Amino acid sequence: MKKDKVLVIGAGGQIGVELVAALRHLYGADNVVATDIREAHPMLKGRGPYEILDAMDGNAIRAIISKYGITQVYLLAALLSATGEKDPRRAWDINMESLLQLLDIAVQEKLAKVYWPSSIAVFGPTTPRDNTPQQTIIEPRTVYGISKYAGEQWCQYYNLRWGLDVRSLRYPGLISWRSAPGGGTTDYAVEIYHEALKHGRYTCFLSEDTYLPMMYMDDAIRGTIELMEAPAEKLGTRMAYNLSAMSFSPREIAEAIRKHIPDFAIDYAPDFRQQIANGWPRSIDDSVARAHWGWKHDFDLALMTADMLKNLGGK
């Protein structure tokens, strides 16, 4: 078993609950401290150390690092694209303040590694939308995207200036059955499975031909840990890596679900999230991650759909 002591901030969210489980498997339950601003998520209760923590409270972060002898931190707390547009200043404050606090603490406390997620939301309508490359025009139009792009540059700055080993991925929409997403534009791709099983129908808040890059949570968790385990000399960029698995539209995911639930019905009522999606890539070129540290996805739409429906209690 590995020696590090790991802190996960924002552990109660969609990625956190699954990442904590994977990290506890790798490092041992007692060596992974899960924290969130809320009471423990049921998947985190009684399974290892848990603390209530506000990601913007630097003193509280420092206290937990010293209490547990933390060597690595994953900072997952954030407001996502749709929630962010409802309160842009709050999204900026939460997303940036939590990162800047942690970067300073990481340098002062000489942490071995920091992980901070970025997103395809860094891209905007002026970015090439198909096979979006690692380096391209980046002019985000959501406050979430602006904060993620600024954060990427802060991560690179701390690496270049202070030698901090900080790593990051630009996640596409993430689809999971153990944990629910909250406040994203890609959330429809999780809701649709729940509604298909519960009601046999779903009203989608994006239009039928809106293609977005997506990934099954199993791949995302494995990719995150593989990036963190990769030898530092393999990482040719300290901006976040493009990461990709599949791209599909609401119409295509509905067709995949109909292979298991033939009378599943979908209709479309696009709302403000349509405009966010219209500014994002349709597909992502992640060849740099594949070349630098060997990234490879396992799940496509068909495999993911079968696994989602099986685990959510369907066929």
Could you say whether residue 173 binds ligand AKB (CB under 6 A)?
A: yes
Q: How far apart are CA 152 and CA 168, in angstroms?
A: 8
Task: List active site positions.
Answer: 144
What H or E segment, with its residue span, contains residue 23? helix 14-27
Q: Which residue is nearest to ligand AKB (CB)?
A: 184
Q: How far apart are CA 90 and CA 68, in angstroms?
A: 30
When binding is defined by CB under 6 A, the residue of 48, 49, 151, 184 that contacts ligand AKB is 184
Query: With respect to ligand AKB, which residue has the nearer C-beta, 128 or 200?
Result: 128
Query: What are the E-state strand segments in the chain?
Result: 6-9, 32-36, 50-52, 72-75, 113-115, 118-119, 166-167, 169-171, 173-175, 201-204, 212-216, 241-242, 246-248, 265-268
Query: With respect to ligand AKB, which residue has the nearer C-beta, 23 or 120?
Result: 120
# residues contacting ligand AKB (CB under 6 A): 11
Could you say whether residue 79 binds ligand AKB (CB under 6 A)?
A: no
Nearest-Å Rg of the Cα atoms of the chain is: 19
When binding is defined by CB under 6 A, the residue of 35, 81, 95, 168 that contacts ligand AKB is 81
Candidates 108-116, 133-141, 179-187, 287-295 — which segment interacts with ligand AKB by CB under 6 A?
Answer: 179-187
Query: Which residues in 153-172 contact ligand AKB (CB under 6 A)?
Result: 171
Could you say whether residue 243 binds ligand AKB (CB under 6 A)?
A: no
Candidates 180-188, 252-260, 262-270, 296-304 — which segment interacts with ligand AKB by CB under 6 A?
Answer: 180-188
Candidates 26-34, 119-127, 200-208, 256-264 — which segment interacts with ligand AKB by CB under 6 A?
Answer: 119-127
Residue 276 CB, shortest distance to ligand AKB, in Å, is 8
Describe the strand order of the beta sheet including 72-75 as a list of residue ranges.
50-52, 32-36, 6-9, 72-75, 113-115, 166-167
* Buried-exposed string 178-190: b where 16+ CB fall within 10 A, e elsewhere: ebebebbbbbbbb
Residue window 128-147: x/- pattern of binding to ligand AKB, with contact defined by CB under 6 A: ----------------x---
Q: How far apart are CA 7 and CA 186, in angstroms?
A: 27
